[in-house]
Amino acid sequence: MSRLELRADVAVVGAGSFGAWIAWHLSKAGKQVLLLDGYGPGNARASSGGESRIIRMGYGPRANYTRWSIRSMEIWRSWIASIDETLYHPAGVLWIARGKEPFALQTQATLEACGIDFERLDGDALRRRFPQFVFEETDWGIHEPDAGALLARRSVQTLVRALCRLGVRYEQRQVRFDNGRVTTNLGERVAAGHFVFACGPWLPKLFPDLLSGVIQTTRQEVFFFGAPAGDSMFQAPRMPCWIDIASRFYGLPDLENRGFKIADDTHGLVIDPDIANREAGAESAAGARRYLDTRFPALSGAPLVEARVCQYENTGTGDYLLDQHPEYPTVWLAGGGSGHGFKHGPAVGEYVAGRLAGLIAPEKRFSLASSQQAGQDATRSSFYRQ
């Protein structure tokens, strides 16, 4: 093998949740895998680079994602147990609904149909169970006790280290794709039987003619506020992860003393992941603080201890793009996480590895044609995807 050539059975470009779990399943199937990432696993510009992500089963009427959450949770728990590290916090997830909120009612029906353990809580039950919150008169909730929070950045970095022990070759390289030819920033040719591009917000940059308008990368701001000293009320397990359907805000408890996390799920401005300013805006911080003052009065005036700018890679439907390139059958595209992809990394990896092996039939919702037909509206909220 030439020193200017990197060779493998499968080359996976992108070492985030999708790419790392695709590499994991391919390696388990006996494939020689090369994993490449321009900035490194869990880097500050990656969608998998944040502190934490919610994993839950509720998805409104989209039972396919509920089933993928079930499967992903099985794999996450098994893998985490095998390495004996604390990468998952079983905090539970609370959905906050008002009146006859359709998405909440659809979520309840899907959870029932899929046999998921949950409780429907009226306003009085919510106030007794979760005194940290202020609930409105018509609020009610769905509580998923078996859901929780994954430590995103650490999980991805730990998984990539585990992959290297399994025999996966990892290299930090920027990758270019030109008419079927894959090269790196060091001038190396990448030779493989199959290529999987699972590079999140960089997918449209690598395939601009194919994916322009199909996937848009939007700026999303996340804030961490300091909880009161000497009080564990805002830490797991007393504090759940939560999603407020009407307001579009969601949040996670104070995990490992990093702060109480809150974010607005509404899609932000379209950005370039390489050069975007990662400084959170004062207007967004003020909006998060106003929400805190109303919903969590004990945090009124709490100090802002950290702020981050991450991104979503949105498709028009919120479905993932998991399909072959229409001109290059050995090239596969895996992206469009749309704000909810991290949790499903294990199931995505299983699906893509199965497609490559010809063991799994394609699902139309994940096809390039479906994503192209849907178009894109980057202003839509995707809280049901988070």
Q: How far is 360 from 71, CA to CA, in rounded Å?
A: 15
Which residues of the chain are under the pLDDT cut of 50? 1, 378-379, 385-386
For 282-315, what is each residue's pLDDT tens digit?
999 999 999 999 999 999 999 999 999 999 999 9
Are 18 and 227 in contact by the 8 Å Cβ rule? The answer is no
Catalogue all structural domains in the chain, each as residue range(s) with its CATH number.
Answer: 5-49+152-215+316-374 (3.50.50.60), 56-148+217-310 (3.30.9.10)
The reported pLDDT for the residue numbered 3 is 66
Cα distance between residue 257 and residue 227, in whole Å: 9
Tokens of 368: 């390039």
Rg (CA), the chain: 21
224: DSSP letter: E
Collapsing DSSP to helix, strand or coil, 61 comes out as coil
Distance CA 22, CA 31 (A): 11
CB of 376 closer than 8 Å to CB of 314: yes
**What is the Cβ-side half-sphere exposure of residue 28, based on CA atoms within 13 angstroms?**
13
Region at 137 (left for phi over 0; alpha for psi -120 to 50; beta for the rest): alpha
Structure tokens at 366: 């994940």
Residue 252 near residue 102, CB atoms below 8 Å: no
Whether 42 contacts 19, CB under 8 Å:
no
Residues 101-127 as b/e (b if ≥16 CB within 10 A, e otherwise) read bebbbbbbebbeeeebebebbeeeebe
| DSSP for residue 115 | T
Q: Give the pairing type, strands 148-151 and 88-89.
A: antiparallel
| pLDDT score for 374 | 82
Q: Where is 206: in which H helix or E strand?
A: helix 203-206
Nearest to 143 by CA among 178, 171, 107: 107
Q: How far apart are the first and last CA of the chain?
A: 44
What pLDDT does residue 87 have? 98
Q: Do residues 18 and 337 make contact, with C-beta atoms less than 8 angstroms apart?
A: yes
Angle at 271 (CA atoms; ends 161, 324), nearest 5 degrees: 60
Q: What is the pLDDT of residue 382?
A: 57
